[in-house]
Amino acid sequence: MDVSDNGNITNGDSVSTAPVIEEIDFSKFTDKPRTLNTERQRSYDERSLSELSIGLSPHHTSRNIEYSRNLDQLDCTFSPGRRSGFNTPWSQNSYETHPTLAEAWEALRRSLVYFRGQPVGTIAALDNSDEKLNYDQVFVRDFVPSALAFLMNGEPEIVKNFILKTLRLQSWEKKIDRFQLGEGVMPASFKVLHDPVRNYETLIADFGESAIGRVAPIDSGFWWIILLRAYTKSTGDSSLAEMPECQKGMRLILSLCLSEGFDTFPTLLCADGCCMIDRRMGVYGYPIEIQALFFMALRCALVLLKHDDDGKEVVERISKRLHALSYHMRSYYWLDLKQLNDIYRYKTEEYSHTAVNKFNVIPDSLPEWIFDFMPTRGGYFIGNISPARMDFRWFCLGNCIAILSSMATPEQSTAIMDLIESRWEELVGEMPLKVVYPAIESHEWRIVTGCDPKNTRWSYHNGGSWPVLLWLLTAACIKTGRPQIARRAIELAETRLLKDNWPEYYDGKLGRFIGKQSRKFQTWSIAGYLVAKMMLEDPSHLGMVSLEEDKQMKPLMKRSNSWTF
């Protein structure tokens, strides 16, 4: 039996070629958001979003202005707590509706998981035709789009229940063999057990101790913090985040990541399989997905943590880490044509702090495909950096979160969207969206995946197309003032997803085939679609999952003269 489906469960430098980075004072971010302690209110500051969309590159100005006008219109139609779900149809308004929507809401509601009478999450997949493995569990990362859909639909209770239940799980003692895991680790997933004899329900959770490979999910804790902020922002109810238990939960998650050690980089060192890609796929080291989520969780925690005796020290450590992390990511992970050309001409073996090629990357290690893939205008954060290793693969989740968290500068965000537009066939194809590009094949596949039969080229985590990523793309599009890109992607997915019974992923270079071992009725495919639709209809929802640059902050980064897009 292939129990590995859900890996986590059953499975002074010379910066002549780098952009100039200005000092960022992240302590400014520690102010409480204005939305806390207020009545339920709009989930974002529209003014700042319209300003942002106007302030982008001249290339997009006319589209952005038109888009901002649309935002103004939406301003008038917003009514807090409006329901768009199946029971109270979304079709009441004048915006485009699609038959798929009602079906999606029905399917999402069918996936609800109850614990002692209360909804506490959604099951990963409701596919009875296939082996359950651990798809009958509530995954923390999978629940995020479900949670956002419910928040957008004015149903915050289930999200609150989920946050509190998983918080209780965090306090469990976690052991793998005789080794005890850190206190702050959040589970990858949990399940409700019914005891028919005692007529009693209990929870069981998996922190990595049942996972193939025995890897703990680093992303769960970050998603938990991000969701806590989304809840707070959307409801205006700060009492949940202010509970001493929630404050402690956040501190525990972050103290696992902020502890001192042997690190020379501010990024987090990870094992393969610790995130959405939960099998061996060569993402060990410092993967972009985790670094971007780490950045976002740190920023969310900064607004949610109290500056009391317990919180003060963590807040200071967060500010320092954000400062170093944004410098590191923006300078070293960023790749565009200019940067690629610089790497192509890198000298090696440069000892001392004046080295340009700091990680001693050998130009011969540049993969062939990157020279064709890199457009003249556009760029992205590469997959991983460590000594003598740059993983040039494009990872969708990390790049979208980089935009949403403002880890990317506005220029970088625009460049990422430019790349998606100019490499549409490769990254979107016939079914949005590639989790990673390109696939690894042959000898490399053998070495990197350990001959994983589920991760063959252009399948599953190895270049498969995942509909759940639609919500992240849509949010990034709205933030950068380019909703038309999201609209195009949603149109591609809309009819097929329902017809194909909401597959988990698609296979093939263009995503034309339902994934070889893909589950049907995969909840996050359903919820991802719903969130994308609702966000496009009412872009004010973006505020739940997006963090603006601090207005008072100086521009975070200037392009060096030679830096082009």
Q: Please choose, out of 5-13, 167-175, 248-256, 325-333, the segment that lies near ligand GLC by the rule CB under 6 A.
A: 5-13
206 contributes a contact to ligand GLC by CB under 6 A: no
Q: How far apart are CA 173 and CA 497, in angstroms?
A: 40
Show contacts with ligand GLC in window 104-133 (CB under 6 A): 124
Out of 6, 166, 331, 459, the residue judged to bind ligand GLC by CB under 6 A: 6
Q: How far apart are CA 424 and CA 432, in angstroms?
A: 10
Report which residue's Cβ sits closest to ligand GLC.
6
Q: Please choose, out of 1-9, 49-57, 157-165, 436-444, the segment that lies near ligand GLC by the rule CB under 6 A.
A: 1-9
Q: Please choose, out of 48-56, 135-143, 149-157, 439-447, the segment that lies near ligand GLC by the rule CB under 6 A.
A: 135-143
10 Å CB burial of residue 113 (0-12, 13-18, 19+) is: buried
219 contributes a contact to ligand GLC by CB under 6 A: no
Q: Please choose, out of 3-11, 25-33, 437-445, 527-535, the segment that lies near ligand GLC by the rule CB under 6 A.
A: 3-11
Residues 6+ apart with CB under 8 A from 67: 53, 481, 482, 483
5 contributes a contact to ligand GLC by CB under 6 A: yes
Edge-to-edge strand order for the sheet containing 436-437? 334-336, 379-386, 389-395, 436-437
Q: Which two tokens stand for residue 237?
A: 């109810």
361 contributes a contact to ligand GLC by CB under 6 A: no
Least Å from the CB of residue 124 to ligand GLC:
4
Note whether 441 and 457 are within 8 A (CB): yes
Least Å from the CB of residue 462 to ligand GLC:
11
Q: How many CA atoms lie within 13 A of 365 on its CB side?
A: 16
Picking from 446, 332, 456, 477, the residue whose alpha carbon sits closest to that of residue 392 is: 332
10 Å CB burial of residue 236 (0-12, 13-18, 19+) is: middle
Picking from 425, 419, 518, the residue whose alpha carbon sits closest to that of residue 466 is: 518
Instruction: Give the type of residue at 162.
Output: F
- Output the CA torsion 158→160→161→164 (10° steps): 160
Name the helix (H) or strand (E) containing 121.
strand 118-122
* Residue closer to ligand GLC, measured from CB, 5 or 237: 5
* Residue closer to ligand GLC, measured from CB, 272 or 342: 272
Least Å from the CB of residue 170 to ligand GLC:
18
**507 backbone dihedrals φ, ψ, rounded to 5°:** -110, 165
10 contributes a contact to ligand GLC by CB under 6 A: no
**In 171-308, which residue ranges form alpha helices assigned H by DSSP?**
218-235, 239-242, 244-258, 288-304
Q: Which two tokens stand for residue 530?
A: 């719903």
Out of 142, 237, 272, 336, the residue judged to bind ligand GLC by CB under 6 A: 142
Q: How far apart are CA 381 and CA 379, in angstroms?
A: 7
502 contributes a contact to ligand GLC by CB under 6 A: no
Q: Please choose, out of 42-50, 101-109, 139-147, 446-454, the segment that lies near ligand GLC by the rule CB under 6 A.
A: 139-147
Out of 67, 115, 139, 380, the residue judged to bind ligand GLC by CB under 6 A: 139
**392 backbone dihedrals φ, ψ, rounded to 5°:** -80, 0
Least Å from the CB of residue 276 to ligand GLC:
4
**80 backbone dihedrals φ, ψ, rounded to 5°:** -55, 140
Q: Please choose, out of 49-57, 81-89, 134-142, 200-208, the segment that lies near ligand GLC by the rule CB under 6 A.
A: 134-142
Q: Please choose, out of 2-10, 75-83, 261-269, 532-540, the segment that lies near ligand GLC by the rule CB under 6 A.
A: 2-10
Q: Please choose, out of 137-145, 263-271, 353-361, 494-502, the segment that lies near ligand GLC by the rule CB under 6 A.
A: 137-145
Out of 141, 191, 251, 434, the residue judged to bind ligand GLC by CB under 6 A: 141
90 contributes a contact to ligand GLC by CB under 6 A: no
* Residue closer to ligand GLC, measured from CB, 2 or 157: 2
Show contacts with ligand GLC in window 428-467 (CB under 6 A): none
* Residue closer to ligand GLC, measured from CB, 6 or 456: 6
Q: How far apart are CA 487 and CA 561, in angstroms?
A: 35
Least Å from the CB of residue 188 to ligand GLC:
7
What's the Cα-to-Cα distance from 233 to each of 160, 187, 236, 237, 516, rounded to whole Å? Answer: 13, 24, 5, 8, 39
Least Å from the CB of residue 353 to ligand GLC:
40
Show contacts with ligand GLC in window 268-307 (CB under 6 A): 276, 278
Residues in the chain: 565
Least Å from the CB of residue 137 to ligand GLC:
8
Least Å from the CB of residue 206 to ligand GLC:
11
* Residue closer to ligand GLC, measured from CB, 142 or 507: 142
Q: How far apart are CA 156 and CA 236, in angstroms?
A: 11
Report DSSP state, residue 502: -
Least Å from the CB of residue 226 to ligand GLC:
15
Least Å from the CB of residue 271 to ligand GLC:
15
Least Å from the CB of residue 4 to ligand GLC:
9
Least Å from the CB of residue 230 to ligand GLC:
18
Note whether 380 and 416 are within 8 A (CB): yes
Chain residues that interact with ligand GLC, rule: CB under 6 A:
5-7, 124, 139, 141-142, 276, 278
